[in-house]
Structure 1
Amino acid sequence: MAEIIGSVKEGILEQANSAITTTNKTKVGTSELGKDAFLQLLVCQMQNQDPLNPSTDTEFVSQLATFSQLEELQNLTAATDKSQAFNLVGKDVILTTTDSNGKTTYVSGTVDFVNMSKLKAKLSVNGDLYDLDQLYTVVDNNYIIEQGRPKVPNKVNFEFDADKPSDLTFEVNLGEGETVANQVAVIINNLILDSKHVTLDGNKVTISKDILSSLPNGEYKPAVVFNDSLYTTISDQVHVKVVNSEATSMPSGDGNTESGGDNGSGDNDNSNPTEDALV
C-alpha cells in the first residue's frame, strides 16, 4: 500500500526535501525546474495529500499544463541567449563587473569565443569569461575606427596679413589604436606644400609665413593629410584669409612636381604625391 503521509523532520516533508535535493544535484548552481523535478514534486504531492480532501485529476493536469508553458518559455529564453551570444563573436563589447564592495567597473574588448558552461553562455573577453547578463554595450567596429582616426579638433579661422606676416599654428589629434599618425601634409588649392613649410611638433602643426606670403589675396581652406593607415584628410576645419598680398598667382606645390623631370617619363606614373610628401 502506498504511503499516504510522509515522515516529517524539522517541519519539512522528507520526501519533498529529497526531491528538491535531487533536483539541485541534477542542475548544480541553478534554480531551474526540469521535467524530472516536476514529476517528483507531483508524486510527492499525491503521496502526501489530505485523504479526506484529495486533489482532483483536473488540478494535476492544470499544473502540468502550466509547468509545460513555463518550461517552453525557459527553453525559448535559453535559445535566444545562445543565439545572441554566438552573434557577438568578433564584436567589440563593454562589460560590467562588480566587486565584493559593490563597486562597478567596465571592461572593454573583443569577444574571442563563446563558452557553454552548465548550459549557460559565457563570453570570452581578454582571456576571461563573463556572463551574458554582464554585457553593457556592443560597439560597431567602424565606430571605433572613426573615433580613433586623426582629426583637427577645433575650427581654425586665421587672417594672414602680408604686411605683418606670422606663422599659422593649430592643434591636431594624431589618433589612436590602428589609425595613429606621426606626420602631416598640407594641401592648398590642390597643391601640396613643401615639407619645409609645414612642421609637426607634438600635437601642433605650423604652416610657415614664407609660403603664406606667396599666396594672393583671398580665402583658402587648407586640407590636412595624416599618414595613418587610412590617410585621413581633414578639409573643413582650417580657414585662412590672406590680405595685403602682392602675389598674383598661387606658387607651384613643391611636393606635387619633380624639378628637372621629363614630362614624358613614366617612372612616377603610379606615385601618389600625397603619400610621397608624407614619407
Structure 2
Amino acid sequence: MREGFDPERSLWDAIAVELRRQRELHGLSVTQLATRLHVDRSTVSRYEHGHRKLDFGVARLLDQIWDLNGLLARLVRFASVTDHGDWFTGLIDFEKDASMHRVWETLVVPGLLQTPDYARALIAIGKADLEFTLEQRLSRQATVFEQSPPPRISVILNWVALEQPVGSRDVMKGQLAHLLELGERPQVDIRVMEKEAGEHMGLDGSFRLLAVGDRDMAFSSSPERGRLVLEPPDVREYAVRYDQISNMAAPTGASRRLIEQAMEQ
C-alpha cells in the first residue's frame, strides 16, 4: 500500500479498499479485471493500493459491470470535492497524460516552467526533503515536455511572478531567460497579466486546467494542500475564469517584452 494509506481517514483510500473487495467478491483476478476495463494490470493494482485515484469514468463502468447502482461513482464524486490534502497522487497521473495545460499563477513561476536553480531556492523554504522534492519536480517537467506529440501549454503569469525575488539575481535572471526560451516553442504560450490591469478574477488564487482524453479537469492550488476538481460543472467554472483572465492578459509579444524588461531590472 501507499505510505500513509488509511481508509479510516481518507475517502480515496476507502474507495481503493472497496474496489478490491468488489473484485474479490465477483471472483476476478487483477489481470481479469484489467482486461474487462481495457487497461493494464498495473493500473488496477495502483487503484487498489492507493497509488492512483479511481477515475470517474472507470467507476461508472464498474458500477454497470457489477450492478452497484452508482456506488463507486458517487464515492469518487464525493472524494473529488473533498479537500483531503492528498491531491498529489491523482495530479501526477493526469499531468503526464494531458494534451493541454492551461495555468494561471499569481505569485511565482509555476513548477512546470521552473529552472533547477529557481526550483531549489523555492523548495528550500521549509522543506526537509529538498533533493527528493526537486528530483520529483524535474521528473514531472520531463514527463510533460518529452511527450510525443508534445502537449499544448498556455501559461498566464501575474506580474508579481516576474518581480518576486527567488534565489540570487543570477537565479532570477536565468529563470526569466528560461521563460523566453520556452516561449519560442510552437506549443508553448506564455503571457503576463500586467500590474495596470487592476483587480480581476485571478486574484483569489492560482489554478490549472488539464485536458486528458475527452475530459477536462482543474486543480486548485493552496499552500501544502490542493484539490483536484473533476465534476464537469465545477471544471467549467474554472475554464470561464481562465478565459476572463486571458482576455485581460497582455498579448504574447508584449508579454515577452515585459519578461525582457524584468531581466534588465
Q: TM-score range by the shorter chain?
A: under 0.3
Which has a greater percent of helix?
2
Normalized per residue, which structure has more strand?
A: 1
Task: Select the structure with the greater relative contact order (CA < 8 A; seq sep ≥ 6).
Answer: 2
> TM-score under structure 1 normalisation?
0.23
